[in-house]
Structures are given as structure tokens and as C-alpha cells.
Structure 1
């Protein structure tokens, strides 16, 4: 095999650098495609850097604690019998020619935009071109950045839109009832505004409930449903999390609840918490989240659901869950009636699209088709 380089990945449009937290593989270890080789922390989240090929880890170029730009050399993978001199020469050539991606591009690429729909601001980000478009719908208290590790990957084969639901992110904070019907209507209105006749809907958590509600309301507009840790497929929900997130307004109050989103709570970075705190302090957010939570959840149960008619909502449906989900039980993925693809990923939590981004992206790409 040729000498292969593992470089600092770019997770999301705003990422410019990452800090090496530690190595998961040692020099001389065999590595396979999909193996996590080292942990990297960004200003959004910590995650493992996966190997894209098979071979032997021959060099650890980056050291624990190093902060390096996107594209910087982290490690070298090659056959065990590749001469050291050849590897040294390849590393020297890479380092000599490397230009940090941000400096080389001179710009940060596509940025979120805003549009006025029915007198309300909606923020969105469009990536990719062609094919049947996909729309990414975040969950309760989230925003389009919840798809940080998925958006660009999925957009390699189609147009992909991510949006901020009303009351969330940088969209308008006013909601009327805060019901799933109201939020689904905002998605349909967004599709009308952008000229999207039909789309694959990919929803996370409450976003899955919204996606199913769109499908129930306007079935001709939905090419397929992909539901990730979805609300609306069972009764139970962690009400303590919902209440704690909705009511918390400072770091100490919010961090314990945010830790429940991940199987590995160390993935909750300081910046992630600070971003949530800033959002929670925006005018209108507390009221909006209160209405949405009251409309969707009560006493540890979900008010609305589509479990019994899921197979009839869309031509094709995919369900993905993290087995260690502490917000909505992964058991809701079991026993679904009809021809529905179901994947439960062990060792992952509620934010499975972040914790197991590569696997989730592979499952979505396979389901959507290229």
C-alpha cells in the first residue's frame, strides 16, 4: 500500500483548528478503515479522528496537547515493511508543501443565511447541489449546528439544507402554540419559500417528530424519512432533562443536563456549554422553549406519536438510535411494524449523529442513495 497521511479533519464550516487530546492507537498497531486513531477537541466538541484506510500506524506526528490547523499532518499509515527513509521523506515533503486550509482558501466557505417567511425570520444553511434534496431538522433546544459532523458529508451527493426551527438558533423566537403541527408548518413554509417540491427529511429527537408530522400533513412533499433518536415513536422521555434544559440559564445549571446527551460526557466542551448559555439568554427563548416543551411533553411522556402508522408516512423510513440514549429510550426503535430499516449503535447516546458521525453518515448515504 502507498504511504497514507491522516490529517486534521474539518468538522463544520467554522472549524479552523483542533487540539490533540490523546492517541487511541500506538505506533506499530494495525488500523482498519473506520478505526479511531486519536481524539481531537474543537471549540464545539471532542471526537475521534477515524482512519480512512488499512495498514500499520508508523508515525505519530502530532503530540498530545498540540493545537493544529485543519489539514495539518497528524499521523502516517503504511505497510509494516515500508522503509523508514521513505516515510521520513514523505513526511518532509508534506510538511514543506502544507498550507493551512483557511489561509489557502482565503474564505470560510458557505455561511448560514436568513429569510423572512410569514413575518418570521428563519436561518438556514445550504450545501451541495443536485439530486433529491435533504432537509436536516434539529431537536428541542438545538440548531443547525447539531449537524456539524454530517452536513458537508451528506452534501457530497445531493443538496442538503439545515435550518433553525422557530424559537431556536438564530430564527425568530416567537411561537404561538409551540406544537408539532406549528413547527411542521414552518418546515413546509420553508420548502415553499426555497422552491423545494419534495425532500428527504432527516430529523433528530424532536426534529424526528416534526419530520413525521410533515409527512402526515403533506405526504407528497416527503421522499423518505430518516429518524435519529426520534421523538414520536414511544411514550417515555427524560422529563428531568427537558425541564432542566428549558429552565436552566447558567453554566452550572445546564452542564449536568447537557452531559446526558452523550454516552461519553467528556464530549461536552466548555465552548458548547457557553454557546447554549448565550442562546438561553436571548430574548424570547425561555418563553418559546416553555411553550414547545409543554406542547410536546408532560409528566415524562410524549404527547404525540406516529409509532403505529410509521410505515404509512413515507415511501421509505430509516431509524437510527444510540443504545445508551439517556433522553429517549433506544427501546423505541424495537418492534416497529413494516419495512423499516433500524440501526442501534452500541456505546452511543442521544447525540448519536455527533458521537458516531461517520457511521451515521454511512447509514444515511446508503439509505438515501447516491
Structure 2
């Protein structure tokens, strides 16, 4: 129950430190990467699930930390999904009071073994792994799940199929089962993420294409099973990775990603009213001594700013990454009055 859960988290908070200038969420020599963050409706706790990787193999386990004081301090991280297999790319969703589901890839060293898994929790701390998801494929190779939950309880998941591209599926039972239509978003693409605007039913998908240098492109649709519209360029100059789109409270889209700058990566963001025309990019980080990767925003009720979580590696090119947080990251430098309606 809510009171018990609050007590458990409060116990976990003991002994943790406070944020530095960037707002450290994790610390130490570990390779902490790829945060998935929610604000619990039970008690307002920030809940972050992230990968902790072996720097020699980049095999991972999933760890968790909480904050009860709006990100000012964080509990000592605990392992929640940790086996001899490789577990990475968490997507955490709350489905109701004291009810959470976690999606992630799992497999051995062979890429063909990778499947997407689901784990459930009744307190936001202890997770129980379920069977691999049936997405309609007879062999393995599904990775990188990103899951959003609609107002009506449906879930939409974008994922990558190794060697095949980007796909989407939907669930009506909190992610226990999914449609097996194997709906393609785009072939020859990687790391798809998806957002949905409830007011007009528009889906926005972003993904990367290319090899040594990657470009970021987007697609929109009002039918989750039809992505036949042409892709539109979003960030096509230089080397671009790790996109994640969201819908702001005013209905505008915001899309975070990372772009290469000299020898390191920095985080940037662009805003769009319609998912077609985008405002100029805003730099979120500009750090010559650090790699900033995998930005994951948490909407905070503002039309202009989000809480942003990402992985920061120092020195550049090293294997010491921590999860960091910035409380108020602007998504636009344009002053607007009535949101995406433009009135």
C-alpha cells in the first residue's frame, strides 16, 4: 500500500548524498547508462531505472534508485534485474496505484538470442520477471523497447529488430500480451522511440539511420498500423544518436537527442507544433570534457521546461558514466501564449 511503499523508499534514502551542479543521480566508477524515469503517482517519488554495464563487455544489469525530495537526494542504487544474461534498455511504466511494469531486452552474447521481457512490481522496488514477449517473430533479435501508456490504458511499444529495422506493437492488458502484426515503422533504421498526442491522435516516431555517422529522421501518423508516409529529416548533418520525443502539456512535441561535437557528444532539443516543422535546436549541454548521452525527459507540468536525465561520461572516451539530472531544461526559446493551437 502507499504508506508501506513510502516507508520502504524512505529507508532506501538513508545514507545517500546530495546533488552537485548537474544533479548527480548515481556516482562512483560504474558504467551507469540509459535512464528510464517516472514520477510515481503513489507518493511523488522520482523512480529511475538504468543500465549498469560491465565496461569490458558492455553486458548489463538493471538497477534502480529513488528520490523523495524532488531529485535533491537519491537512494543507494539496488539491482532489480540482474542475471548472467545481458539485460539492457529499460522502459518503466506505472499502470495504477502501487503497480509498475518494466520492459527491457534480455539475451546472451549472440544477438539472435535477444528478446524483450516484462517484469512487474507491486511496490516499485521489487520486480518479478515474466516470460519473453511474443511479438510475432519465430526467432530472436528484438531489442530497445520504448513504451508509452495512453489515457485509456493502452500501451504502445516501439522496438528495433536486428537486421530488419523499427517496429511498433500495441497492448490492451498492461503489456502482458501484444499484437503480433509486426508493424514496420521503417526498414534499415535503429533505436525507434515514439510519442502520442491525445488531443488529435497523432503519433510521432523518431529513429536513426546510417552507419558510421547517423542521421535522425521522424515520421507522423494517426494510424499506429500505417507508417507509409515519407520520413522527414530532423538532424541530418553530422553524427546524431539517441532520440526521444515527448508531448508537452500544451500539446507541442519536443524531441531530445545527442549530436557529436568535436570528440564528444552533447544533448540538444527541438520543439514542434505539428511534428513536421521544427524550431531551431537548443543546446542542452556543451561540455568538452564529457560525453552526454541517452537523454530521457520527465514532464513537470511546464510548457517550457522538463526535468532531464541522461548519462554523463568523464573523461571523454572512458568507461565511467553516471546518471545526472537537470531540473529545468528549456525546450524552446520562443515565447508563445496559447500552446500549440497558435491562437
TM-score, length basis structure 1: 0.30
Structure with bigger strand share is 2
Q: Specify which structure has the higher proportion of helix.
A: 1
Q: Calculate the TM-score normalised by the size of structure 2.
A: 0.32
Task: Choose 1 or 2 for highest CA Rg.
Answer: 1
